[in-house]
């Protein structure tokens, strides 16, 4: 099948390469020439485990072309829209500019029978609006909404072997024809038995934001319990282990700590709340405001805790921040809790040095005021306190004895409840964590 993919970010690039690897002829288009040049050379424009190999395979096969000219999409039967929907600059709502532009740019090249497939996360109601745009400009073409659930850091595996595939389609024969086309696109995962759910547009759009809202709520729930553990003298990790044994609750996504960040969960819960307000159903998701507030309080608490262990003020004190990415196995620093804490400490006058195995280049762009090093020992040298804010394996496995020789003060704050407390304490460290007495 000949398929086009518009938008070659974390989602689109991996999707395009996976489609090519599974035998389709794919043309990927992005407005950013640097990204396109990197992909054309077989180089991933971001850090994503396994993506280099998938990309190399796709490029070697000759089935993945990339470019900046949207005219290249002509002749494709299916067009995936994979552009970003960031938070608006002046409100919590999603900014749909890129989605609208991408769909508009496709219109001159659509032929009857073509399927335009939205993958971006959008406010409910967007698909119905765009369907009208598509059918008005290209009679016989159809719009489908096919949300994506991949996690950064696991994008390749999640794309090749998704948990489920959701099609949002119009009713009747048009929708049925589009389903047949999508089944051919996803022949490989469907053959593995991946569940396929066919729904209407609003349900498909809501599935995506409902899933991310649930995940965000689960994290903030356990972080609320962490707040209780801190004041009551409990241990949130033991609590999570204990409640997680109940299969109705489940232990996954119950890791307390600095909370969620990234390009999806924070902006998605805010955009969902804004859209629900517009629809007059704001009360139904008002709890997401609390989920957001709990999440932000973790960052404030980490800054407070740093001041507390330094005797009341961070001003002029040397702070080693281990972690800049919003989670391990990613170089993404969008709304990163780690980078946010580092910036707040810097703002409060601390002498902050940030290190991360992958995210130093991206962090430098986002927070240029901070001092960075890619050398973890350099970051630790002379530190009055060490903050572990992203749970990279490299940080979890640090030798507390060796680290103790580098720092000025042996105090470690475990922002992700990721360290072996007993080992650090045995090496003479004062250990403090969010959610542990
Ligand atoms: C999230 C969803 O998990 C994906 O299913 C979805 O497709 C994606 O958003 C999206 O909308 O595109 P992602 O943002 O890559 O994926 O990252 P997650 O693995 O969900 O982690 C989000 C944040 O929650 C990270 O900052 C992580 O450190 C934090 N987290 C995660 C916790 O604090 N505790 C946990 O137990 C799990």
Residue 197: its H or E element: strand 196-199
- N-terminal to C-terminal alpha carbon distance within the chain: 58
Helix axes 287-309, 337-347, angle to 10 degrees: 50
**Given a cut of 90, is residue 352 above it in pLDDT?**
yes
- Percentage of the chain beyond pLDDT 90 is 100
According to the model, what pLDDT value does residue 398 have?
Answer: 98
Kindly report the average pLDDT of the chain as a whole number: 97
- Give the pLDDT confidence score for residue 437 in this predicted structure: 82
Tokens of 13: 């690039």
Q: At what angle do helices 287-309 and 201-232 cross, to 10 degrees?
A: 40
Domain ranges of the chain: 2-199, 209-288, 293-433
Q: Which atom belonging to ligand 1 lies closest to the Cα atom of 252?
A: 36
With a Cβ cut-off of 6 Å, ligand 1 is lined by: 121, 148-152, 212, 215, 219, 253-255, 257, 259-262, 264-265, 326-327
pLDDT above 90: residue 346: yes
Residues 215-219, mean pLDDT to the nearest whole number: 98
Q: What is the mean pLDDT of the segment spanning 342-371? A: 98
Rounded-to-5 percentages of helix, strand, coil across the chain: 45, 15, 40
Active-site residue, selected from the candidate residues 169, 204, 239, 264: 264
Q: Are the C-beta atoms of residues 116 and 142 closer than 8 Å to each other?
A: yes
Q: Count the Cβ atoms, other than its own, within 10 Å of residue 38.
A: 18
Instruction: Write the secondary structure of 215-283 as one string of H (helix), E (strand) and C (coil).
Output: HHHHHHHHHHHHHHHHHHCCEHHHHHHHHHCCCCCCCCCCCCCCCCCCCCHHHHHHHHHHHHHHCCCHH
153 CA closest ligand 1 atom index:
15
Q: How far is the CA of 149 from the centre of ligand 1 (A)?
A: 10
At 172-212, the pLDDT tens digits run: 999 999 999 999 999 999 999 999 999 999 999 999 999 99
Contact call for residues 31 and 8 (beta carbons, < 8 A): no
Give the residue, by CA position, lying nearest to ligand 1 atom 18: 151
Query: Using CB atoms within 10 A of its CB, is residue 379 exposed (0-12), middle (13-18) or buried (19+)?
Result: buried
Nearest-angstrom CA–CA distance, 306 and 313: 8
- 264 flagged as catalytic: yes
Atom of ligand 1 nearest to the CA of 219: 34
How close is the Cα of 220 to the center of ligand 1, in Å? Answer: 12
Q: Closest Cα to atom 28, ligand 1: which residue? A: 327
Read off the pLDDT of each residue in 270-276 and give the average, rounded to a whole number: 98
Residue with tokens 């990163």: 336
Q: For the residues 231-250, what does the mean pLDDT come to? A: 97
pLDDT (mean) for 345-359: 98
**Ligand 1 centroid from CA 436, angstroms:** 23
| Euclidean distance between CA atoms 401 and 391, whole angstroms | 19
pLDDT in tens, 140-168: 999 999 999 999 999 999 999 999 999 99
Ligand 1 atom with the smallest distance to the CA of 148 is 7
Pick left, alpha or beta for residue 7 (phi over 0 → left; psi -120 to 50 → alpha; otherwise beta). left
Paired tokens of 55: 């990309």
Rg of the chain taking only CA atoms, in angstroms = 23
CA of 389 to the centre of ligand 1 (A): 15
Quick check: 322 and 388 in contact, CB under 8 A? yes
- CATH entry 1.10.1040.10 includes domain 209-288: yes
Nearest CA to ligand 1 atom 19: 151
Q: What is the pLDDT of residues 423-435, one digit of tens each?
A: 999 999 999 999 9
Backbone angles phi, psi at 78, to 5 degrees: -130, 140
pLDDT band at 401 (very low <50, low <70, confident <90, very high): very high
Residue 180 CA to ligand 1 centre (angstroms): 32
The ligand 1 atom nearest the CA atom of 259: 33
**Mutational test site, ligand 1, from 262, 330, 338, 391, max ligand atoms within 8 Å of CB:** 262
Q: How far is CA 373 from CA 74, 344, 426, in A?
A: 46, 18, 28
Q: Atom 31 (ligand 1): residue with closest C-alpha?
A: 253
Q: What is the DSSP string of 108-129?
A: GG--TT-EEEE-S---TTHHHH
CB atoms within 10 A of CB 315: 12
Shared fold status for 2-199 and 209-288: no
Task: Say how many Å lie between the CA of residue 260 and the centre of ligand 1.
Answer: 7
Among protein residues, the one with the nearest Cα to ligand 1's atom 6 is 149
205 Cβ contact list (under 8 Å, min separation 6): 122, 123, 124, 125, 126, 127, 145, 147, 168
Residue to probe by mutation, ligand 1, list 121, 159, 264, most atoms within 8 Å of CB:
264
> Which ligand 1 atom is nearest residue 211's CA?
5
150 CA from centroid of ligand 1 (Å): 9
Helix 10-21 × helix 51-61 angle, to 10°: 50
Q: According to the model, what pLDDT value does residue 208 have?
A: 98
* In this structure, CATH architecture of domain 293-433: 3-Layer(aba) Sandwich (3.40)
Rounded to an integer, what is the distance from CA 185 to the centroid of its chain? 25
Mean pLDDT, range 314-322, rounded to an integer: 98
6 touches 82 (CB < 8 A): yes
The C-alpha torsion from 424 through 430 and 432 to 436, rounded to 10°, is: 80
Looking at residue 425, what is its pLDDT? 98
Residue 411 has pLDDT above 90, yes or no: yes
Which residue has the CA at smallest separation from atom 3 of ligand 1? 151
Question: Which residue, among 20, 50, 14, 49, has the nearest Cα to 35 in the 3D structure?
Answer: 14
Ligand 1 center to 357 CA (angstroms): 19
Predicted TM-score (pTM) of this structure: 0.96
Nearest CA to ligand 1 atom 7: 149
CA of 151 to the centre of ligand 1 (A): 6
Residue with the smallest CA separation from ligand 1 atom 34 is: 255
CA nearest ligand 1 atom 33, residue: 259
* Statement: 2-199 belongs to CATH 3.40.50.720: yes
């Amino acid at each position: 099948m000949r398929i086009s993919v518009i938008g070659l970010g974390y989602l689109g690039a991996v999707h395009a390469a996976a489609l090519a690897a599974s035998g389709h002829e794919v043309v990927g288009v992005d407005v950013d020439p640097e990204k396109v040049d990197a992909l054309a050379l077989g180089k991933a424009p971001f850090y994503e485990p396994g993506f280099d190999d998938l990309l190399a395979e796709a490029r070697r096969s000759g089935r993945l072309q990339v470019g900046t000219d949207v005219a290249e999409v002509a002749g494709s039967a299916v067009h995936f829209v994979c552009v970003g929907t960031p938070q608006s600059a002046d409100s919590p709502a999603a900014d749909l500019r890129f989605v609208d532009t991408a769909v508009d740019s496709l219109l001159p090249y659509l032929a009857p029978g073509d399927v335009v497939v939205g993958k971006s996360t959008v406010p409910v109601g967007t698909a119905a609006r765009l369907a009208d745009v598509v059918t008005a400009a290209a009679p016989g073409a159809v719009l489908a909404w096919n949300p994506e659930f991949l996690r950064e850091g696991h994008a390749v595996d999640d794309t090749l072997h998704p948990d489920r595939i959701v099609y949002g389609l119009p009713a009747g024969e048009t929708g049925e024809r589009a389903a047949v086309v999508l089944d051919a696109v996803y022949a490989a995962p469907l053959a593995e038995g991946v569940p396929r759910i066919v729904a209407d547009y609003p349900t498909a759009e809501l599935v995506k934001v409902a899933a991310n809202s649930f995940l965000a709520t689960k994290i903030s729930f356990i972080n609320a319990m962490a707040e209780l553990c801190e004041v009551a003298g409990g241990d949130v990790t033991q609590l999570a282990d204990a409640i997680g044994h109940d299969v109705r609750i489940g232990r996954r996504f119950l890791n307390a700590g600095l909370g969620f960040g990234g390009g999806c969960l924070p902006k998605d819960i805010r955009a969902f709340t804004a859209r629900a307000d517009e629809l007059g159903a704001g009360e139904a998701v008002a709890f997401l405001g609390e989920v957001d507030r709990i999440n932000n309080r973790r960052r404030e608490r980490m800054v407070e805790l740093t001041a507390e262990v330094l005797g009341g003020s961070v001003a002029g004190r040397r702070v080693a921040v281990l972690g800049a990415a919003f989670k391990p196995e990613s170089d993404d620093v969008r709304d990163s809790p780690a980078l946010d804490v580092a910036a707040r400490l810097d703002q409060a006058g601390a002498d902050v040095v940030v290190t991360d195995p992958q995210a130093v280049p991206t962090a430098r762009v986002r927070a240029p005021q901070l001092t960075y090093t890619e050398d973890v020992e350099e970051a630790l040298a002379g530190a009055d306190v060490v903050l572990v804010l992203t749970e990279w394996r490299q940080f979890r496995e640090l030798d507390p004895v060796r680290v103790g020789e580098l720092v000025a003060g042996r105090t470690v704050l475990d922002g992700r409840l990721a360290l072996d407390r007993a080992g650090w304490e045995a090496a003479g460290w004062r250990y403090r964590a969010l959610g542990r007495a």
